[in-house]
Amino acid sequence: MIILVLNCGSSSAKYQVYDWEAKEVLAVGVVEKVTFPGSWIEHKAKGKSEYTEKQDCPTHTDAVNLIVKTLVDKEHGVIADMNVIQVVGHRVLHGGDKFTKSVIVTPDVLKIFEQVKDLGPLHNPANIMGIEAAAKILPGVPQCAIMDTAWHQTMPEASFLYALPYEWYEKYGVRRYGFHGTSFLYVAKRAAVLLGKEPQKTNLIICHIGNGSSVDCVKDGCSFDTSMGLTPLEGLIMGTRSGDIDPALPFYIMRKAGISPQDMETILNKKSGLLGITGQYSDRRDINKAAEEGDKKALLAQEMEAHRVRKYIGGYLAALGGECDALVFTAGVGEFSPWMREKFTHGLGRLGIELDDEKNKAAHSRNGEFIISKDNSPIPIYVIPTDEELVMTEDAHALLKGSYDVHTKFTYSFAGKDYVNKARAEGLKKDLEKNPELKKIIALPKQKA
């Protein structure tokens, strides 16, 4: 069985093709600048050289068509024709509080996505267009929706409600929803394996740090609280998003500077965060380089981001009553930035979180799971590369077969101690040749107690 997963953003369309029987990825890629002039596709296929082609994609339907053309191309493709694709999984940013798990898309499901798209105005319209485009190009093939928000539907009211008029929740669905759900699901299951514990008996603090960032407090294997809220704007300082601010601040600036609500929304989402502080950088690599060269604003941006992350780690440790099995870092910055992990954990030794500097410096790979804490650290620190596409793939397959259920009643392949990602295993061999120190920090599954 061949499974296609699509992640259609406002101006991009990412994809992955997976061979279910062989348990391996056949191809991955992305179409950039969708809806803008100068679109192009970047395509990586197993056993073939990387391929790039420029082609304007004024709509997401055009982008999906370009993906299809590339997948069946005789030279660069990986399948003979699209008839071999039996199911498509779609990332959907916001499902409101209507969905606690992934679903097969029906007209009624699409209606709900339309109803809640105001909650995710930058992403949900594109997600919907991706679903409609794939359904048009692949008629009769089941389309499945995997919601970022579904993982967080286990949060209790005390975690997800705001101290606002209760009728706003009843009438307009105003509440904390949380995001990065597929990432947290994958990482939580893998952390349980490494700890040798049953998922439902595992307490974790997971830091998904990328251009968009959030922290998840996992209690008894389920999301208990998370830093993002009604939208992905709340919480940590991010690449271009402000994160937590005084709610009165936007009104103050709108009055002072004559800024419209629409412009303020754009500023908070696209011109704030690390970009707002430094005035020119949102990429942590650029910020780190500037900081090393003595740029005061870059140094300030690093300290502000780290301070915010530490506050959430400490707060969630308190929410767990100190009973935390592990602190985990994932996503681009979490997986590849030793200097930021050091800043995120600085001064947390008295809370039982003790980073090993040498182990931390060695952990710089997306192909392995690593432990970077001191041997005597009461709370271990892991780096676990996320795999959102695999979650989407397994959900889509199970939905097609009728075996799917909420994650507390469903067993994922990666939740087993013998699970191996073939591509990452091959990649790790190459990484070990370049960096033998990685071998010392590879995290191996513990025996279950």
Give buried/exposed letters for 418-447 (b at 16+ CB in 10 A, else e): eeebeebeeebeebbeeeeebeebebebee
- 148 a catalytic residue: yes
Distance, in Å, from the CA atom of 227 to the CA atom of 431, rounded to the nearest integer, reads 33
Distance, in Å, from the CA atom of 361 to the CA atom of 338, rounded to the nearest integer, reads 5
C-beta separation of 253 from 260 below 8 A: no
Distance, in Å, from the CA atom of 29 to the CA atom of 23, rounded to the nearest integer, reads 18
**DSSP percent split of the chain into helix, strand, coil, nearest 5:** 45, 20, 40
C-beta separation of 342 from 380 below 8 A: no
Distance, in Å, from the CA atom of 130 to the CA atom of 35, rounded to the nearest integer, reads 13
C-beta separation of 187 from 330 below 8 A: yes
Element (H, E) at 315: helix 296-319
In this structure, are strands 40-45 and 326-330 parallel, antiparallel, or unpaired? unpaired
Which SS3 state, helix, strand or coil, does residue 376 take? Answer: coil
Which residue type occupies 222? C
Name the CA radius of gyration of the chain, rounded. Answer: 22
List 56, 108, 118, 148, catalytic entry: 148
Distance, in Å, from the CA atom of 338 to the CA atom of 334, rounded to the nearest integer, reads 8
Minimal CA–CA distance to 147: which of 91, 198, 218?
Answer: 91
C-beta separation of 373 from 354 below 8 A: yes
C-beta separation of 214 from 239 below 8 A: no
Tokens of 2: 């061949």
Active-site residues, by number, are 148
